[in-house]
Amino acid sequence: MKGSYILIIQVEKDTCIRVGALGSLDFSAGYYAYTGSALNSLESRISRHLSDNKKIFWHVDYLLLISKVVGVWTIISDKRLECSSAARYASLTASVKGFGSSDCRCRSHLFFSQEQERLEDIAHSLEYKCVK
For 39-93, how does the pLDDT look when each residue is reduced to its tens digit (9 = 90+)?
A: 999 999 999 999 999 999 999 999 999 999 999 999 999 999 999 999 999 999 9
100 CB-side CA count, 13 A: 23
Domain of residue 28 covers 3-130
- What is the rounded distance in angstroms from the CA atom of residue 130 to the CA atom of residue 132? 6
Using DSSP's 3-state secondary structure scheme, residue 68 falls into strand
CB-based burial of residue 126 (10 Å sphere; 0-12 exposed, 13-18 middle, 19+ buried)?
A: middle
Q: Tell me the CA distances in angstroms from 85 to 115, 122, 126, one per residue in order.
A: 18, 9, 7
Number of domains in the chain: 1
- How many other C-beta atoms lie within 10 A of the C-beta of residue 74? 21
